[in-house]
Chain A
Amino acid sequence: MRGAYLPNIAVIESIREETPSEKTFTLRLLDGATISCIPGQFIMLSVFGRGEAPFCVGTAGQDMPGLDITVRCYPEGQVTAGLHSLQPGAYVGLRGPFGNGFDVDALHGKDILFVAGGIGLVPIRPLIHYVLAERNRFGQLTLLYGFRQPSEMLYRDELAAWRARDDFDVQLTIDEPHPDWEGPVGVVTTLFPDLQIKASNTKAIIVGPPVMYPFVVAECRKKGITDEDMIFSLERYMKCGIGKCGHCAIKHKYVCTDGPVFTYAEMREMAEP
């Protein structure tokens, strides 16, 4: 067995430009190696010479030859900027997957309300794939997806396919008016008042920038969704992924091994001074 800190080598098979600052990289492991992931888990990706950073898995499944990750480029970020400069055929390192992922069994039979802000759609996407693949095991499905401006919309083709379905209510909103946009305008919480949900049977899956969370929690509570039924995927700076480097700890929890998926009831206990 390889040591926990030693990556496997993967090759970048293809790169898709999602937005001006986000790309989706399709990675394939070498030598027939496979990877099995649950939606909501993450991998540690190495750009050799630049470093290693956590990215949530964009595809989930058993014994996959590789997977997708969608990464926003930050000019200050060693790994994100390094990765964005690579071309198909380049080699990267891959460790994992790590983390708990979404408890998909607990979602069976439930109505699901996905709430995504900006790049928060990335960890939610593999869960949507899972739910749609097993559509009859779930009740009403809703996605509320907010982003700043039309050019920042991720996964355009997939969103179009989801919107075309009559068993998936997909609502999009942008933060401020834009000439290319005819849909709703306002942050994602402005979509809540008109929402028709049965709170007692609803699980909310919420991922976005931390600034969004208090507002979404307040709206979910107004609808009657309990703190136990609000499910988040958190993000922290990480160096190891296995609970050793210390960076991602919040209170007594490690985002990497206890999370990154937490209910709001758990997050209340994790509030720091």
Chain B
Amino acid sequence: MPPLATYSLPADKLEEVADRLLTCADRVIGPVRTPPGDLFFDVVRSVNEIELQYGNSLLPPTTALFPMAEEIFSVVGGTPPVIRAPRSDASCLLFGIRPCDVAAIQRLDHFFLDGEFKDDLYAARRSRTAIVAVACSQKADARCFCSCCDTGPFAKTGYDLQLSLVDDTYLVEVGTEQGRRLAQRLSDLLGVADDDLILERERRAQELFTELEQKGNMPSAIRRITGEAVSQAVWERIGGRCMGCGGCSFVCPVCSCFYVIDQTLPDGTVQRIRAQDSCRLAGYTREASGHNPRALPSQRAARYSYHKLSYRYIEREGTQGCVGCGRCVTVCLGGVHMPAVTEMIRREA
């Protein structure tokens, strides 16, 4: 989908842009480095906290839309009990997120918002969230592989505004009406994006794309998982190396599973909480009777890969369940993250 409008922005005006965007939402969430050196997507209070040259954050910015844990409702009183839904009208602007995470949000949008049932909690947050993406002008991280997932190095859709650095100029793309309103706030800083700028961004993206990893494992794994051609031995090898920690899911911007628990507060109020869950955890499918249909690590490994890569799910969700951000590579203790798994599957062929 072509952008609604394109502009140019001198690179040295970026701070000014960020500063103005800070006033465009109740909360601006951007890449911020903590004193020990870790990068998080966190609330930005002033422009100099933002760091745009970052290796991918361990936790994805999608937690702004689908938090690690959140309240579904609380129950007060007893005769009869009264249900109180949480209320939050705060608007949010996600600043400086990468194209891979933009692609993840698009997949979450489809999963949570389209179809027979809508996820009210996600919908409430999403409707008040604007996305200002910054395209990758170089490989962001040693571990990322968007080239295998067709999710970068710049986003083709899914952003409200996207900034792509070309030498000393940003190409500013407007993706939505919301993006157009944001661009109006910046109009005195924006110039005309001539064809040369657009073509040069395209050319560099192509150049970067070919530089990035192109092993072809992903399509091969998709084909073999969909065709149920992966041998039991491979799942057992992956399962044998999986620690069952669920880390891959908790850092994955696409993973959307959650569990639900009730907690009783000292005043007797019952809070129903949902928190992110992982199909790699042994208790994920365990029933009250003790019966567990996926009792083996190999079964859970197969499930994880099937959900992310089977064409039956690509058909259902519109895109594959991996955007190539590389976070699972950072976190997996057993070395059975997505690139390793797709390679193990292909090598078997």
Contact = CB atoms under 8 A, between A and B. Distances in A.
A210 B83 contact: no
B250 to A, nearest CB: 14
Interface in B82-104: 83, 85
Contacts of B293: 210, 236, 250
A50 to B, nearest CB: 6
Given A5-B73, A5-B121, A273-B228, 4 more contacts: A4-B117, A49-B270, A240-B258, A245-B260
A93 B83 contact: yes
Interface in B292-336: 293-294, 298-299, 302-303, 306-307, 310, 312-313, 316
Interface in B28-85: 72-73, 75, 78-81, 83, 85
Given A49-B264, A79-B288, A252-B312, A243 B258 contact: no
B302 A245 contact: no
B199 interface: no
A46 B81 CA distance: 12
A251 B306 contact: yes
A246 B257 CA distance: 5
Given A9-B80, A48-B81, A273 B232 contact: yes
B117 A77 contact: no
Given A6-B85, A9-B80, A74-B289, A246 B120 contact: no
A249 B277 CA distance: 14
B209 interface: no
A273 B112 contact: no
A272 B256 contact: no
6 contacts: A46-B272, A48-B270, A77-B289, A93-B75, A210-B291, A272-B306
B227 interface: no
Interface residues of B, number: 55
A113 interface: no
Interface string A62-83: 0000000000101011111000
A49 B294 CA distance: 28
A3 interface: yes
Contacts of A30: 80
Contacts of B316: 252
B217 interface: no
Contacts of A242: 116-117, 119
Dominant SS at the A interface?
A: loop
Contact of B257 (A5, A235, A245): A245
A239 B117 contact: no
B19 to A, nearest CB: 37
A5 B73 CA distance: 8
Interface in A34-51: 46, 48-51
B286 interface: yes
A257 to B, nearest CB: 6
A31 to B, nearest CB: 9
A7 interface: yes
Nearest to B120: A3
A46 B261 CA distance: 11
Dominant SS at the B interface?
A: mixed
Contacts of A50: 262
Interface string B111-132: 1100111111100000000000
B284 A247 contact: yes
Nearest to B122: A244
Contacts, number: 126
Contacts of B235: 273
Nearest to B288: A77
A144 to B, nearest CB: 23
Contacts of A273: 228, 230, 232, 235, 298-299, 302
A244 B302 contact: no
A272 B117 contact: no
Interface in B243-300: 256-262, 264, 270, 272, 274, 277, 279, 284-291, 293-294, 298-299
A214 B167 CA distance: 66
Contacts of B75: 48, 93
B287 A11 contact: no
Contacts of A9: 80-81, 83
Given A245-B260, A273-B302, A236 B120 contact: no
A237 interface: yes
Contacts of A244: 111-112, 117, 119, 256, 258
Given A3-B120, A49-B264, A245-B277, A239 B83 contact: no
A249 B308 CA distance: 13
A53 interface: yes
A245 B117 CA distance: 12
Contact of B83 (A6, A235, A272): A6
Contact of A91 (B81, B232, B260): B81
B312 A257 contact: no
Nearest to B313: A252
A52 interface: yes
A7 B83 contact: yes
Given A93-B83, A257-B116, A6 B286 contact: no
